[in-house]
Amino acid sequence: MASCHCCAANQQFDDRIARRDLRRYQRRGPDPVTRQLLAAIRQSPLPDSPTVLDVGGGVGAIHHELLDQGFAHATQVDASEAYLALARLEAARRGHQDHLTLAHGDFQALAATTPVADVVTLDRVVCCDPNYEGLLGAAADQARHILAFTYPRPHALTRVVVAVLNAWRRLWRRPFRVYVHPPDGMVALLEQRGFRRRWVGGSWIWAAELFGRAA
């Protein structure tokens, strides 16, 4: 069963937005912060032919790049049917279709039946879910070695922008919301799950972090 926020995300990230994002990715490649995250993953020790679980992967920028660079298999779980459809098309264009599994739905509901992966990524995903504890906890359970994610920094300006956008959506009766979660809470949750922060990056707006499972 899809959760309320999952249905809202499916409505928000429709075919128009998905096609716009795919065109931008095909022209420019991954966004700058996503490039940082990918570089940090590439520099991390991993087994031969690693696997990636890309939660909320959009058009698939992360797993397309990692499959190009030698990852053996990718799984994408996404709330947006439009994103999944275009991720599938891009995978076929790149010859990745036999190395990719796509699943539609709420990751927290699907996590128990999703195979574990060497690397789990959540790029601009935590801010789409009101329950960061459940989302990151489920992601950590599926990560064999690395969990990498991005989230909006909790600056005063960021909070104002998010509040205005959410107010605008309420006014127009659009259910999707954006959330600014506490970084300390997210770090503490992952440390309790046996991970340690290995790398930090990002921009003024977006924080990017990579956690490795402690020995």
Can you give 91-125 as a three-state secondary structure string? HHHHCCHHHEEEEECCHHHHHHHCCCEEEEEECCC
Q: What is the pLDDT of residues 40-98, one digit of tens each?
A: 999 999 999 999 999 999 999 999 999 999 999 999 999 999 999 999 999 999 999 99
Instruction: Report the pLDDT value the prediction gives residue 3, as an integer from 0 to 100.
Output: 64
Cβ pair 99, 72 in contact under 8 A: yes
Cβ pair 28, 50 in contact under 8 A: no
Cβ pair 74, 51 in contact under 8 A: yes
pTM to 2 decimals?
0.96
Cβ pair 109, 1 in contact under 8 A: yes
Whole-Å CA distances, 114 to 55, 76, 145, 177: 11, 10, 16, 26
